[in-house]
Amino acid sequence: MNLIAVILLGLLWCPSLAEAAGPVQNIPVPQDTSSARNASDLVGEDGPKRVYAARVLLRRVRTAWRFAVREDTDILTLEARQTLSEFDTLVAPRCVRQLNVPDTRRYCARILGLLETKDALEPLRSELKTTHKRCDRKALLRAIERIETAS
C-alpha cells in the first residue's frame, strides 16, 4: 500500500510526463525547399540566397531534362516532362529578368537553354553584347544555340 501511495502522490505532483522530462529543447524546423521558394529567392535581394537558388534550380532542370529526353514513356519520363513544363512557367520568366544580374547570369542562361524558352532569345542576345566574362559569354552562346536549334 505504501508503494502505491507514493506512486500516486508522484503522479499528482507531476501532472504531465512532459513536465517531468524537463525543458523543451529547440528542434530545428525543416526549411521550405520547394521550387516555388527557390524561384522567389532567385529574384530576391540577398545575393547568396539568389545564387544558391539559381544553382538548385539549374540542378533540378538538368535532372528533369535528362529524364525528359528519353524515348521511353514510363512514369519518370512523364514526371520529368511535367516538371519542365512547370519550370517553364515558374522559373523561365524570372530567369529572363535575372540575366542582367552578374551573379545569376550564367545559371539563368543555362536554365533557359535547357528549357528552350523562345521568349528568352532577344534578352540573351542583348546580354551577350554587354557581357565580357568568358564563362558568361559561353553560357549565353550555348543557350542561344540550343534555343535556335529547337525552333
In-domain check, residue 56: yes
In-domain check, residue 53: yes
Q: Supply the pLDDT for residue 10.
A: 63
Confidence of residue 11 (pLDDT cuts 50, 70, 90): low
d(CA 54, CA 25): 34
In-domain check, residue 146: yes
Tally the domains of the chain: 1
* 38 HSE (CA, 13 A, CB side): 20
- How far is C-alpha 1 from the geometric centre of its chain's CA atoms? 64
In-domain check, residue 7: no
In-domain check, residue 42: yes
Neighbours of 62 (CB within 10 A): 12
Q: Supply the pLDDT for residue 70.
A: 83
The percentage of the chain sitting over the pLDDT mark of 90, rounded to a whole number, equals 50
d(CA 130, CA 128): 6
Full-model pTM = 0.76
In-domain check, residue 127: yes
In-domain check, residue 64: yes
pLDDT tens-digit readout, 16-69:
555 555 565 676 656 656 888 888 888 888 889 999 999 999 999 999 999 988
Domain extent at residue 119? 33-150
